[in-house]
């Protein structure tokens, strides 16, 4: 079951993707960024701390194709979108984008 089907249509204050596990050693969430995601973060001048904030305190969570989850948060005056997938205990961030407008319904 995808988080979005459990939550409905992207409400404010969505669940954290890391809430049900994803913890590595010493209780720190295990997040891996693909090369594409790192390049996009560099392009948009975003830090890994921004990525962690989006994943742990999202404004909206929606499902995407191929089992991915799209997580949205309003940061720095824009909407920060992270597409990720769970691989065991690790959250793999596939891509990162910044949008002027947020998801529908928010």
User: What CATH number does residue 57 fall under?
Assistant: 3.30.2310.20
Q: What pLDDT shows up at residue 38? A: 95
Cα separation, 30 vs 22, in Å, equals 6
Burial grade of 41 (CB within 10 A; 0-12, 13-18, 19 or more): buried
Whether residue 55 is contained in a domain is answered as: yes
Contacts of 38 (CB under 8 A, 6+ apart): none
The total domain count for the chain is 1
pLDDT value for 106: 60
Cα(33)–Cα(53) distance, integer angstroms: 14
Give me the pLDDT at residue 37, please.
Answer: 95
Does residue 47 fall inside a structural domain?
yes
- What is the value of pTM for the model shown? 0.70
Please check whether residue 83 lies inside any domain of the structure. Answer: yes
Q: Which residues contact 74 (CB under 8 A, 6 or more apart)?
A: 59, 80, 102
In contact, 84 and 74? CB cutoff 8 Å: no
Domain membership of residue 69 as a residue range: 3-7+21-99
How far is residue 50 from each of residues 11, 38, 59, 77, measured CA to CA in Å? Answer: 21, 12, 13, 13
Q: Side-chain half-sphere of 83: how many Cα atoms within 13 Å?
A: 15
Per-residue pLDDT of the chain (106 residues; tens, 9 = 90+): 333 333 334 544 444 445 444 555 555 668 999 999 999 999 988 888 888 889 999 999 988 778 889 999 998 788 999 999 998 889 999 999 999 888 876 6
Give the pLDDT confidence score for residue 65 in this predicted structure.
Answer: 78
| pLDDT at residue 94, rounded to an integer | 94
């Amino acid at each position: 079951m995808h988080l979005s089907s459990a939550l409905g249509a992207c409400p404010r204050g969505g669940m954290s993707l890391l809430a049900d596990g994803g913890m590595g050693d010493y209780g720190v969430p295990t997040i891996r960024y693909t090369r594409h995601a790192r390049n996009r973060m560099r392009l948009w001048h975003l830090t890994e701390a921004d990525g962690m904030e989006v994943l742990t305190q999202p404004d909206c969570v929606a499902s995407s194709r191929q089992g991915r989850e799209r997580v949205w948060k309003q940061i720095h005056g824009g909407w920060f979108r992270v597409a990720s997938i769970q691989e065991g205990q690790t959250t793999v961030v596939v891509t990162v984008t910044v949008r002027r407008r947020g998801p529908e319904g928010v």
